[in-house]
Amino acid sequence: MPLLSRCERLELLSSCGSLGPDPSSRHFTKRTKSIAYVMCIEGQWFQLRADFFSQPQQYNDFSGGYKRFYRELPAEFLGCRATQKLLTAFQQTYQLPEKELILVQVQTSHVNSDNVDQCLTGQGIHSDGADRAMLVCLQRDNVTHAENAIYHDLHGHQAVLEPFILPEGHGLLWQDNRAFHHVAPAQLADPQREGSRTVLIAHYPAFHYLAGKTNPNNTLGTNQVADNRRLRLQH
C-alpha cells in the first residue's frame, strides 16, 4: 500500500542522518544500517536507548545467535512526522498495544557490478522471529529487481504474494509468525555506476531481540546455511 509521499520520504531519509556500518554484510551485499527501539505511550512515540539486537539462530542461521551492534537512529528520526505516520499505521493496522516495544531498522543496500548477484539479506526465504512486520521502501536509485515475495513455505513453492517490486513510498505489512518472506538480488539499471536501495523495517514484539530469546509466538524456522558460509562475528 502507498504510505509516504515523495516529500515525506525525503523528510524521513534526512531525519536518519548517516547510517552506520553493518559488519555482517561483508558476507552478502554491502549494507549500512541504524536501529531504534520505540514504543507508543498515550499516543506519543518514545525511544528506548539500545544499540544492538540478538536474533536467535532459529530464525537466522547465517548471522543469528549473538549480539549485533549498530548505530542508533537519532532523536530527529522519531521526531519526524513521516516516521510517526509509518509507526502509527503499523500500530493501527494490527491494533498493537501501547507500551510494547517495536524494533525499527533503516538500512541501505549498496549495489555495484561486483555484487549484483548476491543476496540482499544473507538469509534467503526466512522469518524474522516477530509476530507482525512492516517493510517500507524509502529509496531506489539505479537498481532494478530486488523483488519482495511472501511464501507459506521455506522452499518458495507456495506463494502468498508472488515476487513484486515494492515502489518508493509503498509498504508491505505481513504476519511474520505465519509466513516467510524473501528479497531477490538487485541489478543495476546503469552498470557504469553504483546503485542503492533503502528500506525501513519494523518488527513487533521486540523485547526478545534484546534478550536474544526465541519468540514463543513464532515457531517458524529458517533454511540452513552451509558451514563454510556461516557467519560468526562474536562481540
Question: How confident is the model over 55-104, as pLDDT tens digits?
Answer: 666 655 545 456 889 999 999 999 999 999 999 999 999 999 999 999 99
pLDDT at 223 over 70: no
Q: Is the pLDDT of residue 34 over 50?
A: yes
**Does residue 48 lie in a domain region?**
yes
Would 222 be classed as within a structural domain? no
Containing structural domain, residue 123: 6-210
57: left (phi over 0), alpha (psi -120 to 50) or beta: alpha
Identify the bridge partners of residue 204 per DSSP, sorted by sequence position. 132
81: cell is 512526522
| Phi-psi category of residue 212: left, alpha or beta, with phi > 0 → left and psi -120 to 50 → alpha | left
Asked if residue 156 belongs to a domain, the reply is yes
Element (H, E) at 45: strand 44-48
Q: Is residue 112 part of a domain?
A: yes
Q: What is the pLDDT of residues 181-191, one digit of tens each?
A: 999 999 999 99
* Predicted pLDDT at 59: 53
Radius of gyration of the chain (CA): 17
224 has pLDDT over 80: no
Structure confidence by residue, pLDDT tens digits, 185-209: 999 999 999 999 999 999 999 999 9
**How crowded is residue 58: how many other Cβ atoms within 10 Å of its Cβ?**
17
Identify whether the C-beta of residue 110 lies closer than 8 Å to the C-beta of residue 52. no
Band of pLDDT at residue 1, cut at 50, 70 and 90 = confident
CATH number for the domain that contains residue 116? 2.60.120.620
> Is 225 domain-assigned?
no
Asked if residue 22 has pLDDT above 50, the reply is: yes
Q: Cα 8 from chain centroid?
A: 19
Q: How high is the pLDDT of residue 107?
A: 97
Count of structural domains, the chain: 1
Whether the upstream peptide bond of residue 167 has omega within 30° of 0, thus cis, is no
